[in-house]
Amino acid sequence: MSTSGMAGTALPAMDVAGRIPRLRERFDDAGIRALLVTRLPNLRYLTGFTGSAGMLLVTPNDAVLVIDGRYREQAGEQLAASGVPVRVDVGISQARQREILGALTAEVSDMGLEAHGVTWAQQREFASAWFADAELLATHDLVEDLRMAKDPGEVARIRAACAIADDALAAVLPTLVDRPTERAFALRLEFAMRERGADAMSFEPIVASGPNGAKPHARPTDRQIEPGELVVVDFGCVVEGYCSDMTRTVSVGEPSEEARRVWETVREAQAAGRDALGPGVELSAVDAAAREVVTAAGWGDAFSHGTGHGVGLEIHEAPRVAATSSGTLGVGHVVTVEPGVYLPGLGGVRIEDTLVVTPEGPLSLTEFPKELCA
């Protein structure tokens, strides 16, 4: 479990045990006496358990992870490793899990469910059968909000994932001159990241050349990458559960004059967004800083998405960096800054870094150089 991808570098421990106590501090404001955690990234965050199924009940004095038989051994090992005082109860059937949770919540009147992690069918089942005597309350982002501020161990994992991505791009970018297809280049990138210790991809790499670059989330195709075209490469990997995210836009050979102007504008906008990051800064102000540069250059309508998003156990998590975001950045928040301009026919330019907010200001975790000509 301790593969960092950086040979010989052990990643510092994370403070997993401190998380459930911080979650309990939020119960009063949410009007709940207990919370049933069912979103898997939240389970992992609170306990270190990485199985594909499980439920964590957190009450004021107790925390119980209810899993099925497949994960008995893994859960015991992972909880011991993270040092979290959580009991594990194995319910080999749904009926048995219901009995376990029912007994634990017999005295609980107001119980929170994660509104974004429970299906309609589950909610009906919980309300009618599992917790028929309790009042079930929808909660929003109780754990997600805690996850925004990363501890140094979490930042170290994101940084390790970013370093692998930097290194992989350096290794494969020179092969663009061989005119690979988008799909072939994406595969090389993925292979290079896995070779360097990535546990997984943060998402399927985006390699969008020429006109395909005008679609912000284009999937790699069999289109061959031609000289003089812009290529948007957006990718990242996972180290011990934590994601990286980076975009570079390059031209193989000499780009057109218009492509160069768009690229310079996006680079300037990205720098403005990065420079705006800091503790206490409004998220909407970061978006505005980047957007103003694009708008002033006349491409405001072609910047068709928010400026960035949080990165951590999920590739897209809180906070969102957008014009409509409320709230401010804090120390330890890890966010992307990724303005883009998308021009049908010509293609697209997006430049993205993953950064951590420190007391002194922003620190970029992705470090690959930004150069238009590959």
Site string for Zn ion, 247-266 (x = CB under 5 A): x-------------------
Cα 323 from Cα 300, distance rounded (Å): 13
Contact status, residue 232 vs residue 224, Cβ threshold 8 Å: no
Of 120-128, 189-197, 297-305, 351-359: span binding Zn ion (CB under 5 A): 351-359
Among 42, 139, 336, 366, binds Zn ion (CB under 5 A): 336
What is the smallest separation between the CB atom of 253 and Zn ion, expressed in angstroms? 25
SS3 at position 108: coil
Among 245, 314, 317, 353, binds Zn ion (CB under 5 A): 245
| Bond into 319 cis (ω within 30) | yes
The site that binds Zn ion (CB under 5 A) totals a number of residues, namely 5
H-helix segments, 173-282: 182-195, 257-276
Inter-residue long-range contacts of 318-325, CB under 8 Å, 24+ positions, other chains counted: 318/141, 318/144, 318/145, 318/147, 318/148, 319/148, 319/283, 320/283, 321/273, 321/283, 321/286, 321/287, 322/283, 322/284, 322/287, 323/284, 323/287, 323/288, 323/291, 324/284, 325/283, 325/284, 325/287
Q: How many residues does the chain have?
A: 374
Contact status, residue 246 vs residue 205, Cβ threshold 8 Å: no
Cα 355 from Cα 313, distance rounded (Å): 15
What is the smallest separation between the CB atom of 306 and Zn ion, expressed in angstroms? 10
What is the smallest separation between the CB atom of 62 and Zn ion, expressed in angstroms? 38
Task: Give me the numbers of helices (H) and strands (E) for the chain, helices first please.
Answer: 11, 19
Q: Which is nearer to Zn ion, 325 or 336 (CB)?
A: 336
What is the smallest separation between the CB atom of 267 and Zn ion, expressed in angstroms? 16
Q: Is 167 in the site for Zn ion (CB under 5 A)?
A: no
Q: Which is nearer to Zn ion, 212 or 247 (CB)?
A: 247
Q: Is 317 in the site for Zn ion (CB under 5 A)?
A: no
Q: Which is nearer to Zn ion, 204 or 258 (CB)?
A: 204
Q: Which is nearer to Zn ion, 284 or 366 (CB)?
A: 366
Q: Is 234 in the site for Zn ion (CB under 5 A)?
A: yes
Q: Which is nearer to Zn ion, 154 or 352 (CB)?
A: 352
What is the smallest separation between the CB atom of 277 and Zn ion, expressed in angstroms? 15
Contact status, residue 351 vs residue 262, Cβ threshold 8 Å: no
Q: Is 89 in the site for Zn ion (CB under 5 A)?
A: no
> Within positions 52 to 71, which residues make up the interface with Zn ion, using CB under 5 A?
none
Q: φ, ψ for residue 318 (rounded to 5)?
A: -70, 150
Q: Which is nearer to Zn ion, 72 or 217 (CB)?
A: 217
Binding site for Zn ion (CB under 5 A): 234, 245, 247, 336, 352
